[in-house]
Amino acid sequence: MRDIITIGDAMIAFTPSKTGPMKFVDSFKRNIGGAELNVAIGCARLGLNAGWISRLGNDEFGKYIRNFARGEGIDVSEVELVDGYPTSLNFKEIMEDGSVRTFYYRDRSPTLTMSPVDLRGDYFKQAKILHVTGVFPAITEQNLAIIRAAIKLAKENNVKIVLDPNIRLKLWGKEKARDVLISFLPDVDILLAGEEELEIMFNESDPHEVVEICHPYDMEYIVIKQGENGSIGYHNGEFVKANPIPPAKVVDTVGAGDGFDSGFIYGYLNGWSLDKTLHFANTIGSMVVSVVGDNEGLPYLEDVQMHLGELERIER
């Protein structure tokens, strides 16, 4: 039984060797990126059984990503290497304050070779959660059909749907993003969204207004990620505010939301209270921004427990 499965493109992410405008950076370090894969990595490091559905180029980068994911303990049986489509790339620009801009090179993503018929019902039947984001359907219209088919399979097999809008305005416009993401909501059990994303979707980010807007969808949890201000969750008619966990230093904000998602999913699957789950997820988000890289900062369970003071760290 898999705790979580997710679907999405993955990329080689080139991280700059120094901060500042990318045009003045002359060297980069090769890393791995992709929102959906990041969540799978985050969940696997926490000890969950994670699976990832994707396509990669049959090239050195594609083989590297697949091997890396497998090494993290992620099931990659639904990941194929395809000829004629280069593995996607992105380059990051990191400024001194930790803010990031990303430049994508994914016009011929290997995921273009996927279609809804490639999704196996048996794979979904073995899962507890399907995690989807707004990134994959934003790449091509074809991917939208794949996500809709995945959601349908999940609902048929009583798999919970977790949606992180994860809106990338470099991939699609606000109106298209709003229409597509709202169309998913009738099937969503858990919504994990940032304030800016809620503004795009609903023209509103006030927690009470958001809950009112989402009331017809009968979601189990509605969670608003507030970055440096923590998070707010709604469940069974009650709001819970979780205070932020100040990071040691903000060096790279990429992956913080994915880390939060992983932490929330872990707490949810373990039957924790909303308060405890949000605190755990906030802690992971804080830990992620202290490390450069898309997923390098995603912690293992014992790292989070030590950060929370639940385990003692013995240095020598």
Ordered by where they begin, the domains of the chain are 2-307 (3.40.1190.20)
Which residue is it, tokens 């760290």?
Answer: 313
Looking at residue 150, its amino acid is A
Torsion of CA 96, 98, 101, 103, to 10 degrees: 90
Q: Measuring CA to CA, how many Å separate 61 from each of 11, 31, 201?
A: 8, 10, 35
- Report the side by side order of strands in the sheet with 2-7: 79-82, 50-57, 2-7, 127-133, 160-164, 190-194, 221-225, 231-235, 238-242
Q: For residues 96 and 239, give the distance between their C-alpha atoms in angstroms, rounded to a whole number.
A: 35
What residues in the chain have per-residue pLDDT under 50?
none
C-alpha to C-alpha distance for 252 and 274, rounded to whole angstroms: 27
Q: How far apart are CA 4 and CA 2, in angstroms?
A: 6
Pairing of strands 221-225, 238-242: unpaired
Residues 6+ apart with CB under 8 A from 32: 10, 11, 12, 13, 64, 65, 68, 294, 295
User: What pTM, to 2 d.p., does this model score?
Assistant: 0.93
How far, in whole angstroms, is CA 243 from its chain's centroid? 21
Tokens standing for 99?
């803010």
Q: Would you state the structure tokens that stand for residue 167, as one six-digit string?
A: 């809106």
Bridge partner list, 104? 90
For residues 207 and 239, give the distance between their C-alpha atoms in angstroms, rounded to a whole number. 9
Per-residue pLDDT of 41-87, as tens digits, reads 999 999 999 999 999 999 999 999 999 999 999 999 999 999 999 99
**Predicted pLDDT of residue 294:** 77
User: How are the residues of the chain apportioned to helix, strand and coil, as percentages rounded to the nearest 5?
Assistant: 40, 25, 35
